[in-house]
Amino acid sequence: MFSRALKPVAAVAVQNGAKNFSTTSQRNYKVVVAGASGGIGQPLSLLLKQNALVTHLALYDLAPVTPGVACDLSHMDTPAKVTGHKGPEQLADAIKGADLVVIPAGVPRKPGMTRDDLFNTNASIVRDLANVVASQAPKAIMAIITNPVNSMVPIASEVLKKAGVYDPKRVLGVTTLDVVRACAFIGEINGVNPTNVSVPVIGGHSGVTIIPVLSQSQPAVKLSDQGKIKALTERIQEAGTEVVKAKAGGGSATLSMAYAGARLAGSVLRGLNGESNVVECAYVKSDITEAAYFANPVVLGKNGVEKNLGYGKLNAYEQELLKAAMPELLKNIKTGEDFAKK
Ligand code: NAD
Ligand code: LMR
């Protein structure tokens, strides 16, 4: 059901040079990575530089190393042009004319912190970036990785609303890592290649708001015991914390997030490019539940989110998980909206 990550670079007629490249893709896309010099930003940019649909990769960050990251990536023999943009005075130029703006800018967790503890620092970063998207690339799709995702998407949405350019189809919270993790863990349990596993993860992106719908896994999860299903569910919900603890103060997931972010970005571009049946879970404006934003499978198309597929049938345990998630999700959304309206 879910689209798989990156098309292999080998599929691109690189040996014939960039000129021939355009024959394999119908359109050319400018992709911005905001926060490009960070733990996620660098490997994400590395993966996007290999994406056949990207013709311009604009790297934006505050860090002094940013022009160097761009220079480094520009030596890769793939067609995408890479530009580096450092500091707020170069932000407009980075964003101008973008088709897709992927945002991993902001601080990550340290052990003992919740994602909500990042709100005070990251809220203004996402607000300021959204303002520039509104003025420089109002039709761009924003894919927000920055935590807490549950609150950052409402912030960006409110900013775009205020600017009069909001299109709910074009603002996505990136929850792909939850799906990637669920597939990895199920692959391990079932003893199968995880790339052949498909499972929706719905709700939001933090703790109890992460709801793996294991009953819809294809193939079915080989766990008959409800206790083991509960343990797997909780492992997926707490997988971010597992990485934060393992990195022992060195930050949170970066490499798996870059992989997941590149997959989501690739799917957005494939949708823009006219491919049909591109499906990913993403946290989007929603009327599926009482929460104004909710993650579940969506079809990505020429305008971003073409269709919300909802979450299908939940078993009794998953319905309980949804019930438990709702107060937290509603609170996170309100926090974001209140901040942006201030
Ligand atoms: P990091 O500290 O390694 O990198 C963040 C980068 O953002 C840095 O290079 C920093 O200079 C840059 N930055 C800070 N303020 C900026 C601004 N105003 N404009 C542009 N760039 C700015 O952190 P990281 O590990 O890459 O994580 C980034 C964010 O992604 C965190 O908030 C983290 O919690 C989140 N995250 C989300 C998911 C998810 O599944 N959605 C997964 C992992 C991490
Ligand atoms: C994750 O799920 O890995 C990210 O949200 C980062 C974090 O803080 O856990």
**How far, in Å, from the CA of 121 to the mean position of ligand 1?**
11
User: Tokens 């996505």 correspond to what residue?
Assistant: 172
Question: What's the pTM value of the predicted model, to 2 decimals?
Answer: 0.94
Name the strand (E) or helix (H) holding 226: helix 226-237
Ligand 1 closest atom vs CA 60? 20
- Tell me the domain boundaries of the chain: 25-173, 176-341
**How far, in Å, from the CA of 145 to the mean position of ligand 2?**
9
Q: Which residues line ligand 1 (CB under 6 A)?
A: 34-35, 37-41, 60-63, 104-109, 118, 122, 125, 145-147, 149, 174, 177, 205, 251-254, 257
Angular region, 248: left φ>0, alpha ψ -120 to 50, beta rest? left
- Per residue of the chain (342 residues), what is the pLDDT tens digit? 444 433 333 332 222 223 333 344 457 999 999 999 999 999 999 999 999 999 999 999 999 999 999 999 999 999 999 999 999 999 999 999 999 999 999 999 999 999 999 999 999 999 999 999 999 999 999 999 999 999 999 999 999 999 999 999 999 999 999 999 999 999 999 999 999 999 999 999 999 999 999 999 999 999 989 999 999 999 999 999 999 999 999 999 999 999 999 999 999 999 999 999 999 999 999 999 999 999 999 999 999 999 999 999 999 999 999 999 999 999 999 999 999 998
Instruction: Check pocket membership of 252 for ligand 2, CB cut-off 6 A.
Output: yes
* Residue 141: both structure tokens together: 């799709």
**Which amino acid, 55?**
T
Ligand 2 closest atom vs CA 205? 5
User: What is the fold, at CATH topology level, of the domain defined by 25-173?
Assistant: Rossmann fold (3.40.50)
Q: Three-class SS of residue 214?
A: helix
**How far, in Å, from the CA of 19 to the mean position of ligand 1?**
34
Ligand 1, atom 24, residue with closest C-alpha = 39
Number of helical H runs and strand E runs in the chain: 11, 11
- The catalytic residues are 205
Say if 25-173 and 176-341 have the same CATH topology: no
pLDDT value for 342: 86
| CATH architecture classification, 176-341 | Alpha-Beta Complex (3.90)
